[in-house]
A and B are shown apart, each in its own frame.
Chain A
């Protein structure tokens, strides 16, 4: 079983729509969680950290469910520029090496 699993998508949505997707992780002792964004043929960049209480950053909302071991990302009012692959990233307890999911691809169309 992979440490971090994501629905690869693609999620094709019109501009202005809301899109949401989840990621599951296998290590119940994981301590920190992140969403990274990766544009085609570019490097991953940190989008946001995910906190236990859930957190928002503009149009992006991240949620963590430790009991069910999943995190989610919701994008409201989608923009064309949101088209990218979103990588779910987990930091195991007592470690500094990150575990990456394979990514969920989102395509926002005009």
Chain B
């Protein structure tokens, strides 16, 4: 089945130790998003790639970076995790402008829950 996959599902890191979260998709969607979601809050968009074009949200800290080496994969790098970065990180994809009936729908991966010690 076509899907969005995130690894690992759970990640424990130490304060200040760089960590990378990965996302892959088999949907062949041109847009990939990274969200941060904390308990009882809305998912907060960090940035997204439209094809190869990187789009950062204005309030995303510099501590968060992303890479998209090809259509299928996207990575979230947290350079120096702080205690406040503990959250669920969700990857999503969509295909705006594709003309399909679900072009506005975002498909989410299962998320990576990050714990910072």
Contact = CB atoms under 8 A, between A and B. Distances in A.
Given A96-B31, A98-B106, A44 B43 contact: yes
Given A42-B110, A43-B90, A43-B110, A100 B43 contact: yes
Given A8-B40, A96-B94, A103-B42, A44 B31 contact: no
Interface size class for chain A? 20 to 34
Contacts, number: 42
A93 to B, nearest CB: 12
Interface of B: 31, 33, 40-43, 45, 48, 88, 90, 94, 96-97, 104-106, 108-111, 113
Contacts of A87: 42-43
A41 interface: yes
Report which residue of B41, B45, B96, B106 has the largest number of chain A beta carbons within 10 angstroms of its beta carbon: B106
Contacts of A96: 31, 94, 96-97, 104
A44 B44 CA distance: 13
Nearest to B101: A49
A101 B104 CA distance: 17
A106 interface: no
Contacts of B108: 43-45
Contact of B40 (A41, A44, A98, A103): A103
Contact of B105 (A8, A41, A46): A46
A44 to B, nearest CB: 5
A98 B33 CA distance: 11
Contacts of B97: 96
A91 interface: yes
7 contacts: A46-B106, A87-B42, A87-B43, A96-B97, A100-B42, A102-B42, A103-B42
A101 B88 CA distance: 16
